[in-house]
Amino acid sequence: MKSILVELDEPTHAALNHIAPAAKRLRAQFIREAIRKAIREAEYEQIRQAYLAQPDSEAEADDWSTAEEYKP
């Protein structure tokens, strides 16, 4: 696992300590999850922008009226 040094201003550091105290080893987990969430949101936004830039036409849209039942 890689390590990254991040500098925080005092209010952000205090808020982080309140939510995820270092003594309980929750801080690193909290930060990792926040980064993963931000990455997912950025990827979803890229996909959304791509669809907005080139939307499906009605002819290209999927026709779900005859969809088969999913059977795992």
Answer yes or no: is 64 within a domain. Answer: no
Let me know if residue 63 belongs to a domain.
no
Q: How far apart are CA 32 and CA 26, in angstroms?
A: 10
- Provide φ and ψ at 59, rounded to 5°: -70, -30
Indicate whether 62 belongs to any domain. Answer: no
Q: How confident is the model at residue 63 (pLDDT cuts 50, 70, 90)?
A: confident
Q: How far apart are the first and last CA of the chain?
A: 36
Is 16 part of any domain? yes
* Structural domain harbouring 40: 10-54
Which tokens in the block code for residue 33? 């999850």
40: in domain: yes
Residue 59 placed within a domain: no
Tens of pLDDT along 3-26? 999 999 999 999 999 999 888 778
* Whether the Cβ atoms of residue 27 and residue 12 lie closer than 8 Å to each other: no
Residue 38 falls inside a structural domain: yes
The kind and range of the H/E element at 49 are helix 27-53
* pTM tops 0.85: no
Instruction: Give the count of domains, the chain.
Output: 1
